Copies of this chain bind each other. A is one copy, B any other.
């Protein structure tokens, strides 16, 4: 998933440095700077407990004058009160000073332990260092993506070049997150960048739709952190995309977002298998997503996937207790493409061979039809293993 020179969008420079926030000595400060003011939007955690950087970003997006995003890992700046707000602001101020822009044009994200004040001296030094190392080449992009990791086993990036009419449009995106890890409440952070021209009016809608079909459709343990943030920066100049071009762009950015979001699930704590839950026939998209989410969050479904068990009872009954309506006599289920439940009744199948198929697939497709409606939704989730339990029950506070 490494970025290549060919498909990094123009207009962005990157840096990732080590400034000593993490005891591990791994890189912990990431900086993205744009060559000129760009349009930007964000979608943020729905948790009622909100970290200071999220509050600040919310107040500064959407915007058409964004110049930089600074992110630290190792400390989430959450549950830190007034000092936390002052520190988040100060991080933006320090960046603004060095690149010569309005502090309001800078966004900030944080991830790591909560309830502790940021080590501002280290962070300021890190910002200084990063601002001197900015570069637009792929290694710089990778360094920026590395510096936002916490417990992630893998770096998460997506780069892509697509064609819309005569235009070539590029994407580069990075994310971090592998479940909520105490005391980190580890957080999902992601930045998507493109050189497409987007208006300040449309960028929020574009991002919201992309988030709804990707980051809002993945689950490791169903725990929404206090820091979750997803940003979209669009550096393209000239006439913004409209009409059919904008629609085409939307479908491409949705795919980029899904590719990035799926990396979170694949790297889920302790995950061995993932599920691709496809709900069809619901009353509408929301209903389909509600059903899919309920299945995705069921410990019994998750452990069935862990064990390679084609357990239709757990899946169908999870759909049955979701808050969305299903039609029991029109409910059918396929696992790995094989139909094992049709119209409300189990149908005979070779459990041994289907189990072998499930075990052989890293991603197990689950197709559930719940009626004859037009509502459809896809959802991705990790399984539940002893490693997840071990990882999260080790004493950490």
Contact = CB atoms under 8 A, between A and B. Distances in A.
Interface stretch (A91-99, A146-154, A229-237, A314-322): A314-322
A125 interface: no
A386 B384 contact: no
The 4 A-B pairs of least Cβ separation, nearest first, read A307-B393, A49-B320, A303-B392, A224-B321
Contact of A79 (B224, B313, B388, B393): B313
- Is the contact region of chain A dominated by helix, strand, or loop, or is it mixed? loop
Given A300-B392, A389-B389, 4 more contacts: A182-B304, A223-B317, A299-B299, A303-B388
Interface stretch (A193-201, A258-266, A343-351): A343-351
29 contacts: A46-B321, A47-B317, A48-B319, A48-B325, A48-B326, A49-B320, A49-B326, A79-B345, A180-B317, A182-B314, A183-B311, A183-B313, A221-B298, A222-B299, A223-B299, A223-B300, A224-B317, A224-B321, A299-B388, A304-B392, A304-B393, A307-B395, A309-B395, A311-B397, A351-B397, A384-B389, A384-B393, A385-B389, A386-B390
How many protomers of this protein does the assembly include?
2
Interface in A324-370: 325-326, 328, 331, 344-346, 351, 355
Contact of A318 (B46, B223, B312, B318): B223
Interface residues of A, number: 62
A172 to B, nearest CB: 30
Nearest to A116: B346
B389 A300 contact: no
B299 A384 contact: yes
Contacts of A183: 311, 313
A265 to B, nearest CB: 15
Contacts of A310: 397
Nearest to A340: B397
Contacts of A319: 48-49
A121 interface: no
Contacts of A385: 389, 393
B395 A185 contact: no
Nearest to A181: B300
Contact of A393 (B49, B182, B309, B395): B309
